[in-house]
Structure 1
Amino acid sequence: MAHSRVAIVTGAARGIGAAVAQRLAQDGYSVGVVDLTEESGAGTVAAIADAGGKAVAIGADVTDAGAVKAAVERVAAELGAPTVLVNNAGITRDNLLFKMTEDEWDAVLGVHLRGAFLMSREVQKHQTEQGWGRIVNLSSTSALGNRGQANYSAAKAGMQGFTKTLAIELGKFGVTVNAIAPGFIETDMTAATAARLDIDFEDFKKGAAAAIPVQRVGQPEDIAAVVSFFVREESGFVSGQVIYVAGGPKD
């Protein structure tokens, strides 16, 4: 069935989000590059344009319902009705439980869970109207527990429950919903973690790689490849799944 090939990727200014946006553009999607500010998404849009693709940068705080509505409306107006949504926007505010503030808890749960909820609620209107859609949510191996990340772990585990419920609700409209749980991926976020722990990033990566069965850390493109699989026509019987992309088994 014919449907518009338009995708929205949140947190698409850099890291995994930027790689996903570029991969979807390569796959023939026009991409709404959503990040906190329009300026921050300009680099991703330029990279897509340079490769012959089409994208637009949109500034929006995904925790703000009004901003989310406006962002999705702008994508629909400028590129066409979005049928693919990748909820990638995320932040960390790491702290041990006894030191964690309410703000650190609320900020992390807000961006991941409230953000994914607001974006999905807005985009599903377009998907159900077209009778076709793909939602991919970014979880993490931290969902299985990670010291200093009670907020992030709870948010990333929450993304999995959210994914499975949306898969049940939206399946009859031709919409699949899946999650990807990355392990160690080389991004600004993991570099910041190394800095916080006062460890040289190269040493941090070497240590991580030694503990991973395939003996390397992941790249944003590794995640983008799995997103590309999930959004294909032929992946329509795969829904409600969580794929750990971590260089080895995780459960």
Structure 2
Amino acid sequence: MTVETRRDGHVAVVTFARPPHNFADLVMIEEIGAAFVEADADRDVRAIVLRSEGRVFCAGADLVNANPVAEPQPTGARNPFYVAAAKLFAVETPVVAAVQGSAVGAGLGLALVADLRVACPEARFVANFVQIGFHPGFGISAVLERVIGPQRALLMALTGRRIKGEDAARWGLVDVLVEAGDLDAAALALAQEIAAGAPLAVASTRKTMRGDLARLVEAQTDLELAEQAWLQRTSDFAEGVRAVAERRPGRFTGE
């Protein structure tokens, strides 16, 4: 198992671990989804903390060795990785993410699943898709702007810039900024603060404010995958994958 759940009062703490980079694959996303479904079904669980082990929150999908969106699907079929990703946004229990290091690509998408994010100054939020000749996925092209606004979302998406924890807090991408040693305690405290509210009122308020986010992500991941499909056939994507493997900037030609 790459995902484990423990209880702390009315809070379910969901921890994922795929050392050393916590790369997101279908199994991990489905296991997180199963933990969310279990939490939703337990009336005694009123909030969730989503966290990971190690120095990196989630370095995204491993596009070099195990690209989860590379396999062609039958006509009309949806990609299983994005089906699982969209289901995460349908969670009915409030989620607090504890981000201790880099949240890159799909890792950024995973952090955006949460209603609120707690991070430390060492955290980095990165939508690095264009730097590897790719299109954003995991619903990021729709969700990110709902959190930080369209202009800042566009800045992140078009540049692949690494956003530091302090800047992310100023932008509203991070709701609570604490020192690294206090991260887990702060995330749990925030989840417990949510859990202390009247459960029906919390659920009702969250449903109203979250709106159609799950349906939006489901539709958007289909659009993202269509763009990713043709980009994966370009020379620039092949160069981007090589550049990642060789730890160098890409040399793109627009082909």
Q: TM-score when scaled to structure 1?
A: 0.32
Larger proportion of helix? 1
Q: TM-score, normalised by structure 2?
A: 0.32
